[in-house]
Amino acid sequence: MKVLKVYGLLLFSALIISVNQVAFATNATSQSINHTAWDKLLKENIQTQDGGKSTTIDYQAMMRDKDKLTQYLNMLAGITEPQFNLWSKQQQLAFLINAYNAATVALILTAWPDIESIKELGSWYSSPWSKEFIPLLGKTRTLDDIEHNLIRGAGRYNDPRIHFAVNCASIGCPALRAEAYDGDKLDKQLDQQTLLFLSDSKRNYIDGETIKLSSIFKWYREDFEKGWRGFFRLEDFLLAHAAEMGISKDLVEKLRTADADIDFIAYDWRLNAKR
C-alpha cells in the first residue's frame, strides 16, 4: 500500500512538472520583446519624404537620445537563444530586423557628425558590416552576421522583402521605416515597404524599353528566385508588382518570356542624414 502511495505521489509530481513546463512554454511562445523604445526613437527622429518612399534620419537628435538607444540594444542583448527560439517566425524576424537597424544607427553615431557615408567606417581590410560590436543571442555579432546568417542564411524565413526593411544608413537603401517592426503586423509592414520601394522612381524606374532596378536586385537576386509566393524568377517578382512600377503591357509580355531588358543602377552610399 505504501509503495502504491509513493508511486501515486511520483506520478502526481511528474504531472505537475509537465503541466508547469507546458504553461511556461506557452507563455514564452506567446510573448516577445517590447520594441516600444525603438519605435519611439524612430517616430521622433525620422523625417519622411514622398509619402514614405524615402526617409532621412536626424542623427543629431539620435545622438541626444543615445542613452535610450543603448538601453534598447542592451535589452535586445539580454534575450537568449532558447527564448528567441520559442517565438513565432514573425516575432523572430521583427526582432532581427530591428536589431540590425538599431545597431546600424548606433554605428553611425560613433563617428557623427564627421561622416558622409557608412563606408567610411570600414578600411582596406574590413568593411563596416564586418565589425564585431553587436551582442546578440549569446555572441558578439557583425551586421553581416545578422543579415546573411541569422536572417538570410537561417533557412527559417525565406522572405526577400527583408531587403526593403534592413537599412544600411545610405540614400540608396530602401527607406528606414518610421516605426519599429512588430511580429503581429510584420507581413503588412513588409508588404508596405516593398510597394514603397518599387514605386520609388529614384531607385527603380523604366527607361524606354529598359527596366532600371536598384543594385539590391543584382546583389540578392537569388533571394527573389527561391519560390517565395511562387516566384522562381526575378521577372515573376517584377510581374507581380508591374502596376506599382509602371511597367507597360509590352514590357509585361517581355518579362513573361524573359526577354525584358533589365539593368541595375549605381548605389548611392551617401548617408541618409538630415543636414
Walk along the chain (275 residues) in steps of 10 and give the mean pLDDT of each run. 42 37 38 90 96 96 98 98 97 98 98 97 90 97 98 93 98 97 98 97 95 98 96 97 95 96 97 92
| Residue tagged 502526481 (cell numbers) | 12
Q: Would you say 182 and 94 are in contact if contact means Cβ atoms under 8 Å apart?
A: yes
Residue where the block lists cell 509619402: 51
Using alpha carbons, list the distances in angstroms from residue 163 to 68, 149, 152, 157, 266: 26, 14, 10, 12, 17
Maximum distance among all alpha carbons in the chain? 91
CB 166 within 8 A of CB 189: no
Spell out the domain ranges in the chain.
1-30, 31-264
CB 245 within 8 A of CB 206: yes
pLDDT of residue 166: 98
| 152-208 pLDDT per residue, tens | 998 899 999 999 999 999 999 999 999 999 999 999 999 999 999 999 999 999 999
Q: Please measure the distance between the N-terminal and C-terminal CA atoms of the chain and give it in whole angstroms.
A: 83
